[in-house]
Structure 1
């Protein structure tokens, strides 16, 4: 049977900013206990007193070795440039045997024009191309024989340069 303390721990682990605020002692335990009371009562399927939740909050300690907050803060400090590109066009095509050939033509064109924004994703049933809006006609001409599922114009894309050790965070 699940306890109040286990329920509190589950909630805090799912909300890392709440957990950090508790560690920094900037949260009113009584107010937080009242806020969590309906959720914990629903989790335990029985009435729970806010005093029991307050005690669980006071006794809660982050697991040893879980210093993700520090790693996360360091990762944010090490973020590189943030670039916003506007006037992006998105195309979604049904995957076919000939789609790869059309994509090859587009890749040749894009590699010669390095100033363009370009992203390609291939799923099981469909492929998505995002490219600078100025190249909409080129995409339409390269893929004219393909089955276009959707096309959107005037989108924006945000790129964030991540640090080398990002996969660790």
Structure 2
């Protein structure tokens, strides 16, 4: 049988923002206990009292260890690289051949300053390129099934230390800064020590300022 403490812990862990607010001491625990009481009763199959939920909230250990690990990754100033005038093609994988992949890379290699990311998933492939390559890439993809083609995109690339791949919560912490300000992330592309965030161009100045302040 699940205990009240276990039920409360599971409910809070499902809501990352909520857990962080509790750890920071910026949330009213009494109000939170009232809010999650029905869910606790459902999980425990008991007529749990509000006071028991409040006590369980107060006794929860703060998850500070992972926060310290994330802080150690993000503690130094990070280079933020801004790119504008980007666009995206998302196509079905059914007919996207390695030859077309190669042609797109070759088109960018001849223009050193241009931007390119290609992410191939199980069912679809997303290509993000500089706007000036639009016609070339569109010609290469002429017979492809384009399922999504947003325009007016920009990107912010963040260089991270190598230990970021072993540290839980690094990407969450970075993206959280944008989510809290209501900024929508169109795509996220990562390599070993780089995180590239694709945004609508109208949001890029505000997003850059937020991340610059948060990561400095």
TM-score interval, smaller chain: 0.7 to 0.9
Deviations 1:16-48 (A, max 9, x none): 554455455554432332232122123223332
The residue number in structure 1 matching 2:35 is 35
**Which of the residues 135, 143, 148 maps onto 2:145?**
148
1:37-76 matches, cutoff 5 A: 37-62=37-62, 67-76=65-74
1:118/1:98 CA distance change after superposition, 3 Å: closer
Deviations 1:78-108 (A, max 9, x none): 4622334332121133335662112212212
Normalised TM-score (structure 2):
0.64
Normalised TM-score (structure 1):
0.80
Q: Is the 8 A contact 1:79 1:160 kept in 2?
A: no
Structure number with bigger Rg: 1
Does residue 134 (structure 1) correspond to residue 132 (structure 2)? The answer is: yes
CA RMSD across the alignment: 2.6
Q: Is the 8 A contact 1:78 1:163 kept in 2?
A: no
CA-CA distance at 1:136 after TM superposition? 0.4
Aligned length: 166
SS at match of 1:80: coil
Q: Which runs of 5+ in 1 are unaligned?
A: none
The 1-side partners of 2:31 and 2:56 are apart by: 14
Q: Which runs of 5+ in 2 are unaligned?
A: 168-216
The residue number in structure 2 matching 1:87 is 85
